[in-house]
Amino acid sequence: MDTQNSKTLMTQGSISKKIIFFAIPLFLGNLFQQLYNTADSLIVGNFLGSNALAAVSSSGNLIFLMVGFFNGIAMGAGVVMARYYGARQTERLQCAIHTTVAFGLAAGVALTAVGMIFAPKILVLMGTPAEVLPQSVEYFRTYFAGSLGFVMYNIFVGIHQSVGDSRHPLIYLIVSSCVNVGLDLLFVAVFHMGVGSAALATIISQFVSALLCMRHLLKAPEEYRLYFHKIRFDLPMLKQIIANGLPAGFQNSVIALANVVVQTNINAFGKMAMAGCGAYSKIEGFGFLPVNCFTMALTTFVSQNLGAKEYERAKKGARFGILCSISIAELIGIVIYAAAPLLISAFNSNPDVMAYGAAQARTVTLFYFLLAFSHCIAAILRGSGKSAIPMVVMLCVWCILRVTYITVTVHFIPDIRVVFWAYPLTWSISSAIFLVLFLRGKWVYGFEKRKD
In terms of Cα–Cα distance, which of 113, 145, 141, 115 is closest to 55?
Answer: 141
Give the integer Cα–Cα distance in Å for 357 and 340: 8
User: At a CB cut-off of 8 Å and minimum separation 6, what does 427 contact?
Assistant: 367, 370, 371, 374
Give the integer Cα–Cα distance in Å for 406 and 264: 11
In terms of Cα–Cα distance, which of 451, 327, 447 is closest to 382?
Answer: 447
Angle, vertex CA 345, rays to CA 344 and CA 351, nearest 5? 100
DSSP 188: I
In terms of Cα–Cα distance, which of 108, 225, 107 is closest to 165?
Answer: 225
- pLDDT per residue, tens digit, the chain (452 aa), is 444 455 667 888 889 888 888 888 888 877 877 776 666 766 776 777 766 766 666 566 667 767 778 878 888 888 899 989 988 899 999 999 999 999 999 999 998 998 888 877 877 776 666 777 888 888 888 988 999 998 999 899 999 988 988 889 889 988 998 898 899 899 988 888 888 898 899 899 999 999 999 999 999 999 999 999 999 999 999 999 988 888 878 777 777 778 777 877 887 787 677 778 877 887 887 788 888 888 888 988 988 898 888 888 988 999 999 999 999 999 999 999 999 999 888 767 788 888 988 999 999 999 999 999 999 999 898 888 888 888 899 889 988 999 999 989 988 998 999 999 999 999 999 999 999 888 876 665 555 555 44
| 3-state SS assignment for residue 194 | coil
The residue type at 230: K
